[in-house]
Amino acid sequence: MNKQTLIRFSLLIGLGLAVVLTALGMAAAASAREALAVPPALPARLQSTPTATTTIQSIPSVVIVSPVADQMFTQGELIPVVSRAADPQGITRLDLLVNGKLLARRSNMKPQTNQTLTSIQMWLPELVGNQVLQVIAYNAAGATGESELVFVQILPATPTPVPATPTPTATPTPTYAYVVVSSAGSLQVRAGPGTEYDALGLLPPNQQARITGRNMGADVWWQINFPLGTAGLGWISGNPAYSTAYHVDTVPTVATPSPPTPTASPTPSTGIDFRVDRTEIQRGECVTFFWNVYGVEAVFFQGQGVPGDNQSRRECPPESTTYTLQVKRADGSTDTRTIQVNVGDDDDSYITTTVPRETKIDFDNGAQTSAQDNDFFWDFEGDQPLFEKADDDNDLKLAVLQPGDLEDFQDVSQATCRDTLAQQEQPRITIALDLIACFSTGEERIGKLRFTGGSREELMMQWHLW
């Protein structure tokens, strides 16, 4: 093959290669355009999904306001534990823990958003030494918040000193004649040996007196020095039921004074004293009437027969009332005395009362115990003071409002109490300082009360009855 032929053959091979390479490039470009136009689907695990919104739950904040750390109290002293809690969703419950154990619980049936709730829970410490207080708050979502621990010191109660009992000195036994009065009761000393003689005075039980003589009769009477320690003379009965005599073998018989001449008893005059401690009161308050009547046949107060001598009667009129005392003389004539008690209706008035523990309370009778109607009573259940209904009478009702001061108490209206009793009646409530509550009595009257203090044996409260 000559040189020119080789050149032509090389050119043909290069041209062919160029054509093949061009065709391959065009195919690759088409594949690239097709890939860009329709992207392949991603695997399901790599595909993106919408992100859910996460709700952050709030935690209640709670703090013990009183008592403060290291504060000291006396064993048996009633201590108010004041706490304050807040939460955007509202507070539903506050638990008071003492030394890690639940002491009291306050439930809030109507939590409000962004609410700050103040609670006063009473604690009566029985143990001496360091005690730990903590309050746990619950919000409407059930989340809890805990207060910081508060350590307080309980000191032992100071006992009342009992005076030492002096050692009695033995009394020497006398050798002269003497008489000792019976321990059963005092013995009358008379001017002569008999009950018809005038009375001079009394010898108390177990009293000793010196005997100076005796009478001549079989009914023995002893003549003694009276008043004791003087040269005066008197007579006492020698009946063994009344006195016992000693060393009387040589007691002389003495002359006795003549019995007094009886005189006709004068006809008693009539006397009437009828009074009351006050004539102007507010509704729910009580008055006390006093009377002393003598020289009459019968006495009637408000038409009812009553004793006449130094008597008193407590009355709680619901409205202005005229009270009558009528007497009947021995000759059949009568005398009537009247007193008008005016009852105001000041809705701001209230009465302060101290009630002993376990005492039943009748507000219709001025918060005094009544034989007919007893509405409520208070007592402890463990360390928890409770105020509750005395029986299951359907007319008796009780409901808590809220803690408050005297101004808050006076602002509570009859309509507020009526609505509260209809919506949330309770058979018992936990007593707490400044707690305000509503009640209805056995006579279907509506009232309000506020606990103001006390101890384990006494409860102080303010109350008003419409």
3-state secondary structure of 17: helix
pLDDT tens-digit series, residues 27-45: 555 554 554 444 455 444 4
CATH of the domain at 238: 2.30.30.40
Q: How confident is the model at residue 64 (pLDDT cuts 50, 70, 90)?
A: very high
Given a cut of 60, whether residue 114 has pLDDT beyond it is yes
The count of structural domains within the chain is 4
Q: Which long-range contacts (CB under 8 A, 24 or more apart) does 214-217 make?
A: 214/238, 214/248, 214/251, 214/252, 214/253, 214/254, 215/253, 215/254, 215/256, 216/253, 216/256, 217/193
| Mean pLDDT of all residues in 227-241 | 89
| Dist. CA 78–CA 307, nearest whole Å | 44
Same domain, yes or no: 105 and 185:
no
Would you say residue 27 lies in a domain? no
Same domain for 221 and 151, yes or no, is: no
Instruction: Assess whether 298 and 398 both reside in one domain.
Output: no
Q: Given pLDDT bands bounded at 50, 70 and 90, which one contains residue 19?
A: low
pLDDT tens-digit readout, 175-215 = 788 899 887 778 899 999 988 899 888 889 899 999 999 99
Q: Per-residue pLDDT for 237 more than 80?
A: yes
Radius of gyration of the CA atoms of the chain, in A? 49
**Whole-prediction pTM value?**
0.32
335 and 409 belong to one structural domain: no
Residues 141 and 183 in one domain: no
Name the token pair of 2.
């000559």
Looking at residue 31, its pLDDT comes to 52
Within a domain: 395: yes
CATH code, domain with 81: 2.60.40.10
Q: Residue 174's Cα: distance from chain center in Å?
A: 59
Alpha-carbon distance 380 to 387, whole Å?
Answer: 9
Domain end: 344, 359, 378, which one? 344
Band of pLDDT at residue 347, cut at 50, 70 and 90: low
User: For the segment 360-395, what is each residue's pLDDT rounded down to a tens digit?
Assistant: 888 877 656 544 557 888 889 888 899 988 877 777
Does residue 41 fall inside a structural domain? no
Whether residue 301 sits in one domain with residue 228: no
Q: State which residues form the domain around 443.
A: 351-465
The pLDDT tens digits for 139-159 are: 888 899 999 999 999 998 877
Same domain assignment for residues 112 and 127: yes
Q: Are residues 325 and 407 in the same domain?
A: no
| 172 in a structural domain | no
pLDDT at position 8? 62
